[in-house]
Amino acid sequence: MAFDDYDYDRLFTLIYSKVINLFNLPLDMFIRTKDELIKGLYEGLITYDGVDEILRNELSQNIYLFSGAKTFQTIKDIQSVMVEDGKIISLSKFKKAAKERFDIYNKNYLETEYNTSVGQGQMVSKWTDITNKKDTFPYLEYSAVMDTRTSDICEHLDGIIRKVDDQFWKTYSPLNHFNCRCEIHQLSKYDEFEVTKIKTVREQSKLADNNMSDIFKMNPYYEKVVFSKKHPYFDVPKTYKEWAKKNFGFPTK
């Protein structure tokens, strides 16, 4: 992973001394995060051919912005453990607490975010193929992996069949949660199937919504993003809004 050889001790010392702060974020953390997620995106994109360069660049830019926002939120959270009962704790105690927070973001979360980058890249590639072949394959079927790990979200959407251009796919195309394993199958106009009635689609979508986060209610191909702007990383205090628009001083491509 990206942070296996990271110099935690130096980082925590610089945060404790306020050299690193929310207006002076660590560039190396941003670069490692960005590089890891870009690697995942391109691993997913090579599954199919035909994704144009403009779309690839927009997806990459989204990862740059996401990585900047994540770096901001990581440092903000680490800073929060510096004070207990209104007093600044010792450096040694801070380093221990800071390492726990750091690992949440850059081990636990990062692995899931990497998998999301791969999966969304695969879906963008898939949708490029779907769009190019929609005259021959005008319908799509939502297909969930049905086993003990199947989420309530995917179970309710499994088997829904609608036209390629149906609005349903702009909200409920996989991925529909972290580590989602669902697929969409292209159906020929010569295949035998029954299009799911709109009433059923609405009922099943409503049931899926009960457990589905807003950050997945989108289609990465149409929105040209890997991570939705509704992701909590992008939610920054008003004080830092203008700073966030500049990607916290980090590059955007």
Q: Using CA atoms, how far apart are residues 64 and 56, in angstroms rounded to an integer?
A: 12
Q: What is the pLDDT of residue 51?
A: 79
Domain membership flag for residue 238: no
Q: What is the pLDDT of residue 216?
A: 96
Domain membership flag for residue 39: yes
The encoded tokens of residue 86 equal 């209104």
Same domain for 85 and 104?
Answer: yes
pLDDT tens-digit series, residues 59-87:
999 999 999 999 999 999 999 999 999 99
Q: Which domain holds residue 165?
A: 134-222
pLDDT tens-digit series, residues 218-227:
999 999 999 9
Please identify, among 101, 130, 159, the residue that sits at the C-terminal boundary of a domain: 130
As for how many domains the chain has, the answer is 2
Chain centroid, CA 18 distance in Å: 30
Spatial contact of 60 and 253, defined as CB atoms under 8 Å apart: yes
What residues are paired with 143 via a beta bridge? 183
pLDDT tens-digit series, residues 135-149:
999 999 999 998 888
Domain membership flag for residue 67: yes
Same domain for 205 and 116?
Answer: no
Residues 6+ apart with CB under 8 A from 100: none
Q: What is the pLDDT of residue 43?
A: 93
Same domain for 115 and 146?
Answer: no
| Residue % of the chain over a pLDDT of 90 | 91
Helices (H), 51-151: 53-80, 91-103, 110-132
What are the percentages of helix, strand and coil residues in the chain, rounded to 5?
Answer: 55, 10, 35
Q: What is the pLDDT of residue 48?
A: 61
Most distant CA pair in the chain, distance: 71
Tokens 């990459």 — which residue? 60
CA-wise closest residue to 216 among 181, 176, 157: 176
Same domain for 13 and 125?
Answer: yes
Domain membership flag for residue 178: yes
pLDDT tens per residue across all 253 residues of the chain: 789 999 999 999 999 999 999 999 999 999 999 999 999 999 999 766 677 889 999 999 999 999 999 999 999 999 999 999 999 999 999 999 999 999 999 999 999 999 999 999 999 999 999 999 999 999 999 999 988 889 999 999 999 999 999 999 999 999 999 999 999 999 998 899 999 999 999 999 999 999 999 999 999 999 999 999 999 999 999 999 999 999 999 999 8
